[in-house]
Amino acid sequence: MKTYVVPVDFSKTSLHAAEFAVRLSGQTNVTDIVLLNSYYVSAYESLLPTPDMTLICDDDIRQNMESRTQQLSEMKFNLEKIADPNVNIKYHISRSPLLRAILETVAAENADLIMIGSNGGSDDDSHIGSNIVDISKTSPVPVIVVPPACQCNTIKRIVMACDFKQISTGLPLESLRKLLNTYQVELLVVYVNTTQEKGEWDPKLSAEKSALHTMLKEFDPKYFYVNEPNVISGILNFAADHNAQFVIALPHKYSFF
């Protein structure tokens, strides 16, 4: 993975995600980190006054752009102090809405990954953090979500949560290959059984399980079966018990976030 896109809105969570991306660069072969700020002013905001009877004019937009450019420049300067010397940090201000700005930048930069900060349980009111689900659903590349309390540690173990259904059509193998080959880590695949019935693998899933074995064979994964009434708790508890640094949530029916 050569290029990361990190959307920032100058909130604590987005700044934390940017720092996380920079610190992670020492463990990867990334060459470029793009700090993306979306500054969208709709036609209505330019033509109609706000409730306090103010109207956004060209001077307001220019001053806002200058302020954002200055903030991004300072952020870049501070991040370069902790970045790998071989990593190029740059910034871009898009005049498109957030989601479109991210997709356009990913395409323009041929990016391999998006890294965004999650509001989590913090009191940070980040516009980016509030749109994690939409960004993740529409992104053509893997998205790393950084919780507010998460610190960057050496990545040794990754948990992949999977329900073993529609594996052959629902597994983004190429994206997984890029992600896992980048970090060279141990892969743990976990299935969370939410039914009251305990036991071994469901026979109905055995065929898909075999397909998964074949598709993930190159990563030499370990497979686990967990009995837990709540899927999210099961995944997070498993990750904590096995000291995993990353959790991979595949695009499926679970609303992980």
Q: Side chain identity at 106, as an amino acid letter? A: V
Pinpoint the alpha helices (H) of the chain.
12-24, 43-47, 58-80, 98-109, 132-138, 167-170, 173-183, 206-216, 231-241
Encode pLDDT of 204-214 as tens digits: 555 456 677 77
CATH 3.40.50.620 domain residues, the chain: 3-146, 157-249
Please, which pLDDT band fits residue 123 given cuts at 50, 70 and 90? low
Residue 64 CA to residue 81 CA, distance in Å, equals 26
Q: Side chain identity at 219, as an amino acid letter? A: F
Encode pLDDT of 220-245 as tens digits: 888 888 888 888 888 889 988 998 88
Q: Which residues fall within 8 angstroms of residue 136, CB to CB, at 6 or more apart?
A: 143, 145, 257
The stretch 189-203 carries a mean pLDDT of: 68
187 or 171, greater pLDDT: 187
Full-model pTM: 0.76
Residue pair 90/32 in contact (Cβ under 8 Å)? The answer is yes
Q: How many helices (H) and strands (E) does the chain have?
A: 9, 9
Please report the pLDDT score of residue 53 as a whole number: 46
In the chain, % of residues over pLDDT 70: 75
For domain 157-249, the CATH architecture is 3-Layer(aba) Sandwich (3.40)
Q: Name the CATH superfamily housing domain 3-146.
A: HUPs (3.40.50.620)
Residue 63 CA to residue 253 CA, distance in Å, equals 44
Encode pLDDT of 127-185 as tens digits: 888 888 888 888 888 888 888 777 777 778 888 887 766 565 556 677 677 667 666 78
The stretch 63-75 carries a mean pLDDT of: 94
Residue with tokens 């686990």: 224
